[in-house]
Amino acid sequence: MDRAGPRVPSWLVDYSLLAGVALAVASGLASLVSRPGDAWLFVLHGGAGVSLVAFLALKLWRVRHRVRAGVRARSGRVALSVVLSLVAVAALATGIAWVLGATVPGPWTLLFVHASLGVVTAVVLLVHLRDRLSLPARADLRERRAALSWLGLTAAGAVAYRVTDAVGTERRFTGSRERGSDAGNRFPVTAWVADDPDPVDPDEWTLTVTGLVEREFELDYGSVRPETEARALLDCTSGWYSEHDWQGVRVDELLDEAGVGENAAWVQFRSVTGYRWSLPLAEAREALLATAVDGERLSHGHGFPLRLVAPERRGFQWVKWVEEVRVTRRRDRSEWVAINVSGLGE
């Protein structure tokens, strides 16, 4: 085995890589549903990512001869390892580039590309791992110099993380950059996956309040009274945020008019497209169904005639083109599917 560089035994490098990828992927996925108290998730994610750079560099350096031999012998296992290295390096590079302020042309943000590569890395790693990880020999564990080298590598990762964080462009703790705040409808229009309905005709549209309520009712566009204003920040998981004054009707008022039933615990907001999301009852009461932003009527792209404003929730939960408010007893798990398939095949 090549012993150049830090004296960390190779099994410890492997376990560190495994732990780093597991942490990075878990914190990355969890960050998609993050709330304001979750800043630590992003620190963990960045720290795991940057530490991976050091361990991955060491590993690739040590296996370089084996890889070269494997490529010459056309080994399938080595081919998989090469693919794994490429996607892992690409995932790390796109993540760091995003923090440093880079962008890519095309329909996807660099942050989205990074997240996709991260998920692919985890999947390829699982395949790569079948028959590879071996348990460490006892003697290895007692080697003090190895432990110190390991700490050194990890610390180098932490320092590198602080540096990239400090030189990066201005971002929220979620990594998102500001776009079009306080400028009415002039902020990005985004679909979670494929939702792109035809404009909703306000003369044919109604809002229904239904489910576990005493008096189900239906409003037409003219009967929606946008008398409340709320300042709230929309933070899309694709990497931008925008803060506005939203005008609309408080969900609270609609629920009081309908009379919430005894076992009610959730309120679901359903789009004309089938896209839907629920908030716990108490939180839903505080939410707004907006007809306007910064005093401008909502544009079609932003959800006209009515969109949910769910402060402190990530953007994908701010359902657009809402036509139904449904009070329920249990969380509807199918909404996780609905957000991913609505609009597909249209």
Tell me how far, at minimum, the Cβ of 237 lies from ligand MTE, in Å.
7
Contact between 318 and ligand MTE by CB under 6 A: the answer reads yes
* Span 208-267, contacts to ligand MTE by CB under 6 A: 234, 236
Q: Report residue 234 CA to chain centroid gap.
A: 13
| Among 98, 249, 315, 323, contact with ligand MTE (rule: CB under 6 A) | 315
Q: Which stretch binds Mo ion (CB under 5 A): 47-55, 149-157, 186-194, 327-335?
A: 186-194
- Beta-bridged to residue 244, according to DSSP, are 232
* Span 95-134, contacts to ligand MTE by CB under 6 A: none
Residue of this chain nearest to ligand MTE (CB atom): 315
Residue of this chain nearest to Mo ion (CB atom): 236
Could you give the CA distance from residue 280 to residue 174 in angstroms, rounded to a whole number?
A: 23
Contact between 211 and Mo ion by CB under 5 A: the answer reads no
Contact between 32 and ligand MTE by CB under 6 A: the answer reads no
Contact between 277 and Mo ion by CB under 5 A: the answer reads no
Count CB neighbours of 238 within 10 A.
17
- Which partner in ligand MTE, Mo ion, none is near 320 (CB below 5 to 8 A by kind)? ligand MTE
- In the block, tokens 């590598």 appear at 153
Q: Which stretch binds ligand MTE (CB under 6 A): 63-71, 116-124, 211-219, 311-319?
A: 311-319
Instruction: Name which of 55 and 277 has its Cβ closer to ligand MTE.
Output: 277
The helix or strand, by DSSP H or E, that contains position 219, with its residue range, turns out to be strand 217-220
Contact between 187 and Mo ion by CB under 5 A: the answer reads no
Question: Which tokens in the block code for residue 238?
Answer: 């694709």
| Among 99, 153, 195, 291, contact with ligand MTE (rule: CB under 6 A) | 195
| Among 98, 205, 269, 321, contact with ligand MTE (rule: CB under 6 A) | 321
Instruction: Name which of 188 and 311 has its Cβ closer to ligand MTE.
Output: 188
- Determine the Cα angle at 19 with ends 51 and 166, to 5°: 25
Contact call for residues 216 and 326 (beta carbons, < 8 A) = no
Sign of the CA dihedral running 311, 315, 317, 322: positive
For residues 302 to 321, the per-residue mask of contacts with Mo ion, x marking binding by CB under 5 A and - elsewhere, is: -------------xx-----
Q: Which stretch binds Mo ion (CB under 5 A): 11-19, 170-178, 188-196, 286-294?
A: 188-196
| Among 16, 121, 247, 273, contact with ligand MTE (rule: CB under 6 A) | 273
CA atoms within 13 A on the CB side of 223: 10
Instruction: Name which of 76 and 106 has its Cβ closer to Mo ion.
Output: 106
Q: Which stretch binds ligand MTE (CB under 6 A): 40-48, 218-226, 248-256, 271-279?
A: 271-279
| Among 189, 231, 280, 295, contact with ligand MTE (rule: CB under 6 A) | 189
120-129: long-range contacts at Cβ-Cβ below 8 A with a sequence spacing of 24 or more?
A: 120/87, 120/91, 121/21, 121/25, 121/84, 121/87, 121/88, 121/91, 122/21, 122/22, 122/25, 124/80, 124/83, 124/84, 124/87, 125/18, 125/21, 125/84, 125/88, 127/80, 128/80, 128/81, 128/84, 129/18
Nearest to 96 by CA among 141, 137, 157: 157
Nearest to 45 by CA among 69, 64, 24, 76: 24
Question: Which tokens in the block code for residue 232?
Answer: 């709230």
Tell me how far, at minimum, the Cβ of 286 lies from Mo ion, in Å.
21
* Span 225-264, contacts to Mo ion by CB under 5 A: 236
Contact call for residues 9 and 143 (beta carbons, < 8 A) = yes
SS3 string of 85-102? HHHHHHHHHHHHHHHCCC
Contact between 192 and ligand MTE by CB under 6 A: the answer reads yes
**Contacting residues toward ligand MTE, per CB under 6 A:** 187-192, 195, 234, 236, 271, 273, 275, 301-303, 315-316, 318-321
- Give the residues lining the site for Mo ion (CB under 5 A): 190, 236, 315-316
